[in-house]
């Protein structure tokens, strides 16, 4: 029942929204993982990011695709929590790391072990629209634990213009989705994070974007 | 279904399908006889033609309203592409939203054939409303550029293009051969044909550049050859789709040929200014939607008023 609801939500609302109202320019679509487990990391500017990333995959893969999302935001009230967990299918993540709370990445790890395609926004929040901010290192911990899982960087542009943080009205813009090559853990946290940052910046320079201030 | 179109228009659509089949076979043949050359771009372009013409003809066959909705959607895609391409101000998000809202309203005037409102809604009311909305937001830095570029975009992608749609709702009795749909098909077919003809003539004989600073691939040979071909075709098919006399048809052929070129290079200049090669990636092999309808932004309003002045 919940699976059907999720399927309907993506078929009736998300896909038409992503493909007709917004419109995506996807480059290197062939680099998307054909099956899980895989970790998708992207820059984060808008609530639309998650929906667009999920809609990049064929519908039959939908049950596999799970975005990681912040507990403090998405589970803050019951209605939103129900929607986030059942319809969007989030894997909850505690942003505030407390020593007593145990392993913050346990749920994400377990989902990867089930063979999911996990979506993660290492910037940690949507931040200022259309600005890349530093990736937090949680993603490196995850990559280290799952050294056999490819980490696929995806650069998103335009969704922060269409629906930035704090805005309720969606304004249509064509948006760019540049998919990078999968990276694997290389044994060195600092070096790996630099590789990931570099991969994102290379993807970002593929586009020619007019200023938006 | 279909009975709202005159027999000639239905035959013309069949003719378009024939041209499409012929062109596709030609591309296959060329690709087969030149196995060591890469024709994937050309094949992609043909495929996009099939999709575009399929949707366009499908809407025409369905009903005049379906065609109006189709053109409204084309305007939406074109405006969206334009606004995604140009620099816009973050403060203007809501102003852009109003600009988008103008599309359904404007095409409502088209669907109801309210000419008086159609002809002033964007040039007068939206022209006055959008700056007003910007002033309420109060961001003055970049105000002139924002206001000017938004209105130009709305005029080009919505107002100008919608003249194709208004041809459809013109009184049928003034054009027994093809009615409104005949005129629209005549305009769209000749404009697109002119693009292809200029390109082909240019490829075959192009030498002397027309406007190298804007569009280095445009040549006089392509322009003149294309325009003459378009002129000839305009005269040949006019009796079947339009109320034109021979001279009037020649005039229409010249308007479509010359101003199709102007529309094309206007969008080229815009792209050059922004430093992009294609306006988008919506139509594989063609680029964006503006790359495909650039010529129509000029030919649609000019052809419309030419017909309107002569026969309505």
CA distance A47 to chain B (A): 17
Tell me which residue of B271, B2, B296 sits closest to A210, measured CA to CA. B271
Which residues of chain B lie closer than 8 angstroms to A17, CB-CB?
Answer: none
Is the pLDDT confidence value at A58 over 80?
yes
Mean pLDDT by 10 residues, chain B (312 residues): 85 95 94 89 93 95 95 97 95 96 98 97 97 95 96 98 97 92 97 95 93 92 97 97 96 98 96 91 90 96 97 92
- Tell me if chain B has a CB within 8 Å of the CB of A172: yes
Q: CA B139 from chain center: how many Å?
A: 34
B262: left (phi over 0), alpha (psi -120 to 50) or beta: alpha
Which residues of chain A lie closer than 8 angstroms to B86, CB-CB?
Answer: 210
Test A169 with B281 for CB contact under 8 angstroms.
Answer: no
The beta-carbon neighbor of A212 closest among B77, B90, B97 is: B90
**Half-sphere exposure of A17 toward its Cβ, with a 13 Å CA cutoff?**
20
Q: What is the pLDDT of residues A65-79, one digit of tens each?
A: 999 988 888 888 999
- Tell me if chain A has a CB within 8 Å of the CB of B145: no
- % of chain A residues with pLDDT over 70: 98
| Strand pairing category for A175-179 and A24-27 | parallel
Q: What is the pLDDT of residues A163-178, one digit of tens each?
A: 998 889 999 999 999 9
What part of A 112-171 touches B (C-beta under 8 Å)? 129, 158, 161, 164, 167, 169, 171
Quick one: pLDDT at residue A153? 95
Test A171 with B96 for CB contact under 8 angstroms.
Answer: yes
> In residues, how long is chain B?
312
Test A171 with B86 for CB contact under 8 angstroms.
Answer: no
Test B80 with A23 for CB contact under 8 angstroms.
Answer: yes
Test A172 with B100 for CB contact under 8 angstroms.
Answer: yes
Q: What share of chain B is helix, strand, coil (3-state, %, to 5)?
A: 80, 0, 20
Q: Contact at 8 Å (CB) between B161 and B293?
A: yes
Rounded to an integer, the average pLDDT of A126-133 is 78
Which residues of chain B lie closer than 8 angstroms to A174, CB-CB?
Answer: 80-81, 84, 280, 282
What's the pLDDT band for A100 if we cut at 50, 70, 90?
Answer: low
Which residues of chain A lie closer than 8 angstroms to B80, CB-CB?
Answer: 23, 172-174
The CATH classification of domain A2-204, taken from the options 1.10.240.10, 3.40.1130.10, 3.30.565.10, 1.10.260.30: 3.40.1130.10
Quick one: pLDDT at residue A99? 65
Rounded to an integer, the average pLDDT of A151-156 is 95
Count of A-B CB contacts under 8 Å: 49
Which residues of chain A lie closer than 8 angstroms to B88, CB-CB?
Answer: 161, 210, 212
Q: Is A182 helix (H, G, I), strand (E, B) or coil?
A: coil
Is the pLDDT confidence value at A95 over 80?
no
Question: Would the ipTM clear 0.95, i.e. be above it?
Answer: no
The C-alpha atoms of residue A191 and residue A209 are separated, in whole angstroms, by 29
The beta-carbon neighbor of A212 closest among B87, B94, B274 is: B87
Quick one: pLDDT at residue A3? 87
Contacts of B4 (CB under 8 A, 6+ apart): B63, B64, B181
Identify which of A181-185, A209-213, B295-299 has the greatest average pLDDT: B295-299
Identify which of A109-123, A195-209, B248-262 has the greatest average pLDDT: B248-262
**Half-sphere exposure of B192 toward its Cβ, with a 13 Å CA cutoff?**
16
Q: Is A70 helix (H, G, I), strand (E, B) or coil?
A: strand
Quick one: pLDDT at residue A178? 96
């Amino acid at each position: 029942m919940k699976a059907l609801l999720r399927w309907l939500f993506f078929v009736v609302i998300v896909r038409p929204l992503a493909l007709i109202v917004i419109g995506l320019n996807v480059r290197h679509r062939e680099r998307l993982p054909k099956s899980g487990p895989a970790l998708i990391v992207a820059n984060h500017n808008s609530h639309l990011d998650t929906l667009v990333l999920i809609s990049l995959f064929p519908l039959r893969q939908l049950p596999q695709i799970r975005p990681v999302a912040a507990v403090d935001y998405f589970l803050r009230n019951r209605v939103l929590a129900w929607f986030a967990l059942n319809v969007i299918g989030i894997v909850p993540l505690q942003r505030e790391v407390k020593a007593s709370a145990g392993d913050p990445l346990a749920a994400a790890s377990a989902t990867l072990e089930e063979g999911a395609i996990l979506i993660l926004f290492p910037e940690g929040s949507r931040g200022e629209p259309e600005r890349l901010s530093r990736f937090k290192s949680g993603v490196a911990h995850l990559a280290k634990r799952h050294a056999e899982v490819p980490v696929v960087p995806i650069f998103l542009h335009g969704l922060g213009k269409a629906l930035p943080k704090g805005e309720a009205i969606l304004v249509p813009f064509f948006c760019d989705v540049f998919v990078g090559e999968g990276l694997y853990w290389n044994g060195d946290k600092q070096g790996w994070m630099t590789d990931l940052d570099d991969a994102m910046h290379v993807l970002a320079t593929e586009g020619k974007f007019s200023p938006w201030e | 279904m279909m009975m709202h179109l005159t027999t000639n228009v239905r035959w013309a659509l069949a003719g378009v399908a024939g041209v499409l089949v012929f062109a596709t076979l030609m591309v296959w043949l060329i690709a087969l006889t030149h196995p060591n050359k890469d024709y994937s771009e050309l094949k992609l372009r043909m495929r996009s033609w099939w999709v575009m013409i399929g949707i366009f003809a499908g809407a025409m066959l369905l009903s005049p309203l379906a065609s109006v909705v189709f053109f409204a959607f084309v305007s939406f895609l074109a405006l969206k592409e334009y606004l995604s391409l140009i620099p816009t101000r973050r403060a203007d998000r809501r102003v852009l939203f109003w600009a988008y809202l103008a599309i359904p309203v404007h095409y409502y005037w088209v669907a109801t054939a309210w000419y008086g409102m159609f002809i002033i809604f964007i040039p007068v009311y939206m022209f006055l409303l959008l700056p007003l909305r910007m002033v309420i937001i109060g961001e003055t830095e970049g105000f002139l550029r924002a206001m000017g570029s938004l209105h130009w975009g709305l005029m080009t992608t919505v107002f100008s293009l919608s003249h194709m749609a208004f041809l459809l709702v013109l009184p049928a009795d003034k054009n027994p051969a093809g009615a409104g749909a005949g005129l629209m098909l005549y305009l769209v077919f000749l404009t697109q044909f002119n693009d292809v003809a200029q390109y082909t003539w240019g490829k075959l004989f192009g030498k002397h550049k027309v406007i190298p600073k804007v569009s280095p691939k445009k040549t006089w040979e392509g322009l003149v050859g294309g325009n003459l071909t378009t002129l000839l075709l305009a005269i040949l098919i006019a009796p079947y789709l339009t109320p034109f006399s021979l001279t009037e048809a020649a005039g229409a052929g010249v308007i479509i040929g010359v101003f199709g070129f102007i529309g094309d290079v206007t969008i080229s200049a815009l792209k050059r200014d922004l430093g992009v090669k294609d306006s988008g990636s919506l139509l594989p092999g063609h680029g964006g939607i503006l790359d495909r309808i650039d010529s129509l932004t000029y030919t649609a309003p000019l052809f419309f008023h030419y017909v309107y002045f002569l026969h309505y």
